[in-house]
Amino acid sequence: MLAQERFRQLEHDQQQRTQQQQAQQQQQHNLQRRLQDLTTELEQIRATPDPQIAKLQQVITDLEVQLKQGKATIEMLQAQEHDLEKTIDQQQQLLLQTGEQRQQQTQQLKETKQRLQALHEKQTELSQKMDELPTKQVDSTQLTTKIKQLKTRLTELEPVNLGAIQAFRETKKRMDFMQSQLDDLLVARQKLLSVMNKMDQTVKEKFKATFVAVAQEFSQVFREMFGGGEARLVLENPTEMLTTGIDIKVQPPGKRFRSLNLLSGGEKSLTALALLFAIIRVRAVPFVILDEAESALDPANVDRFARYMKQLKARTQFIVITHRKETMIYADQLYGVTMQDSGVSKLVAVDLKGSN
């Protein structure tokens, strides 16, 4: 308000000085016109007596002095006007800044009024809630104790960590990033579990189908190699196809069903070979390497083993490491190592296709 009054006072002073300047300019113009008129009159009356000429010259001199004074006054008024304009510009800048500050203060005052209004409404709401609460007799001692406890807890909270807000923001930002990573991992985990479930289901189906086929072939091969009897493959836990064990139950000719652990060494070996041949019949392989597989068999069972292996040679090639002649006579090629001279080994190959 003071700045606006000062600004209006400066404008009023400028108007007065402008009016004075215009009056001086008008007076100067009148003096110039009068000087011109007197000069003209002087030329016209050059033939007049000397006293009148002297009088006119004195008048002209006075007018010239007044004219110079008027010019000086005008220049002074112009300088004052320039200074006044500069002062007005400064006051306008100050007034503009004052206006901006006033707007900011007005905005702050408005926000403060809004906060006060909100607090007043909150106070009114709390008062209503307090009025709605049932009236109870308050023990002053308990109330004093409660106040002391609250003051103690408030004191324990000091000093206030001013950097806690910034630390909270940074921690929250980090937590949001980690949460997004966790969400991605959970989605990936769910996809992996879905794929694993599909794979487990596929494995169960294929294992069950293969197990049934191998069990059927094993029963048939066992009867062929033992010349009778019966053999079974039994699942220990049929409901858990991925973790179940497989039990082999066999009944050699003339004996009861028993576990594989209760068989003799030769029966165990022949049963294991029967299972191997059953698997080959279900899923043929290019070749099989057997190392002393029939060493625990008697000659009759070795002959059965070799003859059955010969039946499968059309689909699978067998490479057998053996010292049993019952197996050798069914071979197509024989490879042996002999030592005719001491310390000198020699490889010997025999083709038995023609003899067989």
CB atoms within 10 A of CB 263: 17
Is the torsion defined by CA of 257, 307, 292, 315 positive or negative?
Answer: negative
How many whole angstroms separate alpha carbon 302 and alpha carbon 323? 11
Per residue of the chain (356 residues), give pLDDT as tens.
555 666 667 667 767 767 776 777 777 677 677 767 766 766 665 555 555 556 666 766 777 777 777 777 777 777 776 777 777 777 667 767 766 777 777 777 777 778 777 777 776 776 676 666 555 555 678 778 888 787 777 666 666 666 777 888 888 899 999 999 999 999 999 999 999 999 999 998 999 999 999 999 999 999 888 888 888 888 888 888 888 888 888 888 888 887 778 888 888 888 899 999 999 989 888 989 999 888 888 888 898 889 888 888 888 899 999 988 888 888 888 988 888 778 788 888 888 876 55
- Amino acid, single-letter form, for residue 233: L
Specify the pLDDT at position 162: 65
Q: Which SS3 state, helix, strand or coil, does residue 30 take?
A: helix
**pLDDT in the model for residue 79:** 73
CA neighbours within 13 Å on the CB side: how many for 327?
21
Contact 15, 88 (CB under 8 A): no
The pLDDT value given to residue 133: 54
Angstrom distance (rounded) from CA 331 to CA 318:
9
Q: What is the DSSP string of 69-95?
A: HHHHHHHHHHHHHHHHHHHHHHHHHHH
pLDDT number for residue 213? 92
pLDDT of residue 206: 92
Q: Residue 346: its pLDDT value, please?
A: 85
CA 29-30-34 angle, to 5 degrees, is: 120
The whole-angstrom separation of Cα 14 and Cα 248 is 123
How many angstroms separate the CA atoms of 210 and 241, rounded? 12
pLDDT for the residue numbered 194: 93
End-to-end CA distance of the chain: 131
Stated pTM of the model: 0.47
- For residue 227, the model assigns a pLDDT of 85
